Amino acid sequence: MNFLRLVRVFFRVNIAGELAYRMNFLFSFFESVMGLAFTLVGLAVIFSYTDSLNGWRPNEILALVGVYSLLGGVIRVAILPGMQQLTESVRDGTFDFTLTKPEDAQLIVSISRIGVWKIIDVFLGLAILIIALVRLGGSIGGLQAVEFLAMLLTGSVIVYSFFLILATLAFWLVRVENILTIFLSVYHAGRWPLSLYPDWLRYGLIFIIPVAFATTIPVEALTSRLNWVTLLAAFAAAVVLFVASRAFWKFGLRHYSGASA
């Protein structure tokens, strides 16, 4: 399939580029492990005083931390680099070359850049998640597992669409380098259950900057806290947002007149 072939090619190119900076792997690894270690220390302090946080047991929060790191890794590996590249290339004019290529421009933008070393976060997140799952043991059935995977996918699509909409604004605003950081600047909030926050903050994390879909909702599915209505709503939101972001992208493209020429 053409799509997979392109992904493979771009992946190889990115790996080859990054292998010139092998020490970056060590530094990246060190930073990720440290970040996680301090997160776990924080959790240990909190759970030395209580054994449940608004009904969430320590191992359930641990699963949340795992998903937080996993999805954070996915964003930094697969979503953010491409979008950053897009906003830069709109500003300096090199986006014109992307448009001349025979493939769909959105596809090329989305897969041409990969944050190779941040894949560490994905693996660390998976490791934490597996530890949490083993410790949660028998309380998770097949249905929850399926729901969890579906919500992870849903969350990724929502985050991708959100980033695409932000990056598309570059066609009008040109200088938007900061706009992409808005998601990660509130992503911290996704390390804790949504039910902790007051209403205004919770709705903000669902409807304005959709952090909730990335971390809390998948783990709620995993720990059977999610009802069918929310599940379907999240699924519908992903479809709507994906279609809408695609339409917005095409609308933006029509507006794009080139910065270099």
Query: By CB under 8 A, what part of segment 242-261 binds other proteins?
Result: none
- Would you count residue 94 as binding other proteins (CB under 8 A)? no
CB of 29 to other proteins, least distance (A): 10
Q: Report how far residue 221's alpha carbon sits from residue 64's, in angstroms, rounded to the nearest whole number.
A: 11
In the complex with other proteins, the residue whose CB is nearer, 40 or 130, is 40
Stretch that binds other proteins, among 10-18, 80-88, 111-119, 188-196 (CB under 8 A): 188-196
**Residue 218, C-beta contacts closer than 8 angstroms, at least 6 positions apart:** 67, 148, 151, 152, 155
Among 3, 16, 31, 146, binds other proteins (CB under 8 A): 31
User: Would you say the C-alpha torsion 235, 241, 244, 249 has a positive or negative sign?
Assistant: negative
**Tokens standing for residue 101:** 């290529």
Could you say which of 8, 17, 19, 54 contacts other proteins (CB under 8 A)? 54
Examine residue 35 and tell whether it contacts other proteins (CB under 8 A).
Answer: yes
3-state secondary structure 53-121: ECCECHHHHHHHHHHHHHHHHHHHHHHHHHHHHHHHHHHHCCHHHHHHCCCCHHHHHHHCCCCHHHHHH
> Which one of 178, 229, 254, 261 is in contact with other proteins (CB under 8 A)?
178
Per CB under 8 A, the list member of 15, 16, 19, 185 interacting with other proteins is 185
Judged by CB under 8 A, the residue of 6, 53, 127, 165 near other proteins is 53
Non-local (6+) Cβ contacts of 104 within 8 A are: none
Using CB under 8 A as the binding criterion, the count of chain residues that bind other proteins stands at: 31
Distances (CA, A) of 124 to 118, 131, 170, 192, 218: 10, 11, 33, 18, 18
Does position 58 interact with other proteins (CB under 8 A)? The reply is no
Closest distance between other proteins and the C-beta of residue 235, in Å? 28
The dihedrals phi and psi of 141, each to the nearest 5 degrees, come to -95, 180
186 binds other proteins (CB under 8 A): yes
N- to C-terminal Cα distance for the chain? 35
Q: Does 42 sit near other proteins (CB under 8 A)? A: yes
Stretch that binds other proteins, among 103-111, 151-159, 185-193, 220-228 (CB under 8 A): 185-193
Tokens representing 259? Answer: 């910065």
Binding site for other proteins (CB under 8 A): 23, 27, 30-31, 34-35, 38, 41-42, 45-46, 48-50, 52-54, 178-179, 181-182, 185-186, 188-189, 191-192, 196-198, 201
